[in-house]
Amino acid sequence: MTDTSSHLLSVWAFDKHGHKVHPYKGKLGAKKGLYCVNFANDTNKFQGLSEEELIQAIKQGRFRHRGTIRMCGANMSSGSNAFAPAMYEGKRVKDF
C-alpha cells in the first residue's frame, strides 16, 4: 500500500501519458511540508504554500490563466514536474 498522506488528492492534473498527478508536500529545505506553487510560470519563482493557502488560491481563481504546482502520481513520493491544476474536488480549476 502506498502512503499518500503527502499528496493533496482533491487537486489533480494529467501528465503527458494521461496519468493522474497530485500536488505533494516538499521534503527538504525551505518548502518542507508545503506545496510548491508558481504563479509566474518562471521556474525560479516557486513558493511554498500550506494546504489551506493552496485551496484558497484555487478558489480565488489564481490558476485561471497561469500557474503550476509540483505534482506526481499518488504512487510516487515526489517528482520534478509542475502542472497546471485541472480539477479541484471534481470541478474545473479554470471555472473558479
SS3 label, residue 91: strand
The pLDDT assigned to 79 comes to 73
Q: Mind listing the pLDDT tens digit for each residue in 32-70?
A: 999 999 998 777 889 999 999 999 999 999 999 999 999
pTM here is 0.89
The pLDDT assigned to 76 comes to 80
The pLDDT assigned to 44 comes to 82
Q: What percent of the chain shows pLDDT beyond 70?
A: 94
Q: CA nearest 37: which of 77, 1, 84, 92?
A: 84
Side chain identity, residue 9: L
Question: Rounded CA gap, 46 and 72, in Å?
Answer: 16
Q: CA nearest 82: which of 71, 95, 67?
A: 71
Question: Rounded CA gap, 4 and 75, in Å?
Answer: 7
